[in-house]
Amino acid sequence: MPVLEATKVSRNAYEAALLNFDLAADKLHLEPDVREIIKYPERVLHVSLPVRLSDGHIHRFEGYRVQHSTARGPAKGGIRFHPNVTLDEVKALATWMTWKCAVVNIPFGGGKGGVTCSPKDMSIEEVERLTRRYAASILPLIGPEQDIPAPDVYTNSQTMAWIMDTYSMTKGYPVPGVVTGKPISLGGSLGRNEATGRGVFYTVLAACGQLFIPIKGARVVVQGFGNAGSVAAHLLDSNQAYVIAVSDSRACIYNKNGLDIPKLMLYKDKTGQVLGFPGSTEIQPAELLALECEILIPAALENAIDEENASSIRAKIVAEAANGPVTPEGDTILESKGVFVIPDILCNAGGVTVSYFEWVQDTQHLFWEAQDVYSRLERIMKTSFAEVLKIHLEHKVSMRVAANMLGIGRVAEAVKLRGLYP
Ligand code: NAD
Q: Is 112 a catalytic residue?
A: yes
Ligand 1: nearest atom to the Cα of 324: 32
Over the chain (422 residues), what is each successive 10-residue block's mean pLDDT?
47 95 98 95 98 97 98 98 98 98 98 98 98 98 98 97 98 97 98 96 98 98 97 98 97 98 98 97 98 98 96 98 96 97 98 98 97 98 98 98 98 92 59
> Does ligand 1 lie within 6 Å of residue 227's CB atom?
yes
Q: Which of 211, 227, 244 is nearest to 322 (CA)?
A: 227
Ligand 1: nearest atom to the Cα of 4: 18
Could you report the per-residue pLDDT of 6-45, keeping only the tens digit for each? 445 578 999 999 999 999 999 999 999 999 999 999 999 9
Compute the C-alpha angle 247/249/253, nearest 5°. 25
C-alpha distance from residue 368 to each of 42, 56, 197, 371, 397 (Å): 34, 45, 20, 8, 38
In the chain, what's the furthest Cα-to-Cα distance?
Answer: 64
Determine the Cα–Cα distance for residues 367 and 41; give it in Å rounded to an integer.
Answer: 33
> Does ligand 1 lie within 6 Å of residue 119's CB atom?
no
The residues, any chain, with a CB within 8 Å of residue 163's CB and separated by 6 or more, are 79, 131, 132, 134, 135, 142, 149, 178, 179
Could you report the per-residue pLDDT of 167-189, keeping only the tens digit for each? 999 999 999 999 999 999 999 99
Could you report the per-residue pLDDT of 359-385, keeping only the tens digit for each? 999 999 999 999 999 999 999 999 999
69 CA distance to ligand 1 middle (Å): 24
C-alpha distance from residue 406 to each of 13, 26, 103, 111, 381 (Å): 21, 13, 6, 19, 14
Residue bearing the CA closest to ligand 1, atom 8: 226
Determine the Cα–Cα distance for residues 274 and 256; give it in Å rounded to an integer.
Answer: 16
- Which residue of the set 91, 100, 112, 268 is catalytic? 112
Q: Which of 335, 399, 337, 310 is nearest to 24 (CA)?
A: 399
Supply the pLDDT for residue 222. 98
Phi then psi dihedrals of residue 265, to 5 deg: -65, -40
Ligand 1: nearest atom to the Cα of 355: 40
Q: Which of 168, 32, 135, 99 is nearest to 352 (CA)?
A: 99
Determine the Cα–Cα distance for residues 113 and 67; give it in Å rounded to an integer.
Answer: 9
Where are the alpha helices (H) located in 272-364, listed in sequence order?
Answer: 285-289, 328-336, 344-347, 350-364
Other CB atoms within a 10 A radius of the CB of residue 171 amount to 10
> Does ligand 1 lie within 6 Å of residue 343's CB atom?
no
Predicted TM-score (pTM) of the model is 0.96
> Does ligand 1 lie within 6 Å of residue 351's CB atom?
yes
> Does ligand 1 lie within 6 Å of residue 301's CB atom?
yes
Count of CA atoms in the C-beta half-sphere (13 A) of 96: 31
Phi then psi dihedrals of residue 326, to 5 deg: -115, 125
321 CA distance to ligand 1 middle (Å): 8
> Does ligand 1 lie within 6 Å of residue 245's CB atom?
no
Q: Which of 92, 100, 208, 82 is nearest to 151 (CA)?
A: 82
Residue 76 DSSP code: E
Radius of gyration of the chain (CA): 20
The residues, any chain, with a CB within 8 Å of residue 246's CB and separated by 6 or more, are 221, 222, 223, 225, 229, 230, 233, 252, 253, 259, 264, 274
Supply the pLDDT for residue 9. 55
Supply the pLDDT for residue 82. 98
Q: Which of 282, 272, 329, 225 is nearest to 8 (CA)?
A: 329
Supply the pLDDT for residue 11. 85
226 CA distance to ligand 1 middle (Å): 5
Burial of 6 (0-12, 13-18, 19+ CB in 10 A): exposed
Residue type, 133: R
Could you report the per-residue pLDDT of 106-138, keeping only the tens digit for each? 999 999 999 999 999 999 999 999 999 999 999
Instruction: Catalogue the E-assigned strands of 256-414.
Output: 281-283, 292-298, 314-319, 340-342
